[in-house]
Amino acid sequence: MSSLFNHIFIPITILLIFSKRLSIHPKNIILLSFFGILPDADIFLFHRATLHNIFILIVPILIFIFMTDMREVSGIICFYLGSHLLLDIFDGGIFLLYPFYNGIFYSVIELIFEKGMKFNIGISNDFIDMSQIGEPMISSENFGVAILLLIVILISIIIKREDIKKKKKT
């Protein structure tokens, strides 16, 4: 699942679907899409650690909080970076708290035809081998995509409720 296609296509699709509702300009979604693969630049350093941790989100979050004129851009960047981390957690794991903690955070959720449901969340000293015996009906990678979609839907519902409350007050 960890591929150039998925780290760009999935977030772009989600953002474009909700762009009107979230008042996001589609041009910015496309132009900033390279942030979807930026964490993989650490392949030349310590892969899935150097840029695959929550600390990569600090600068865009601070920009979002303190520079109100940059909220759209920093929000899009946060979504791309955050979606990359979430998708990789379901594809072998990432060093989420690196350099302060060297454990690999991962999640494995699969429904195998031959074995039944497998659910495993944890911290490991090594990446998780995602290959299984049997054909998965539900895989960890797809579960990660589903979580991303649910988060965006939840945000959209919250924004819609706030809009309804504002209209009732006026």
DSSP assignment string, 46-107: STTTSSSSGGGGHHHHHHHHH-GGGHHHHHHHHHHHHHHHHHHHTTT-B-TTTTT--PEEEE
Which pLDDT value is given to residue 72?
92
Q: Note whether residue 62 is domain-resident.
A: yes
Q: Note whether residue 139 is domain-resident.
A: no
- Using the structure block, give the residue that is written with the tokens 């910015």: 28
Q: Residue 170 has what DSSP assignment?
A: -
Spans of the chain below 70 pLDDT? 1-2, 110-121, 125, 127-142
Q: Note whether residue 64 is domain-resident.
A: yes
**Which residue range forms the structural domain that includes residue 50?**
4-95+145-169
Q: Note whether residue 106 is domain-resident.
A: no
Q: Note whether residue 107 is domain-resident.
A: no
Instruction: Single out the residue of 13, 23, 57, 25 nearest to residue 159, CA to CA.
Output: 23
Q: Note whether residue 128 is domain-resident.
A: no
Mean pLDDT of the chain, nearest integer: 82
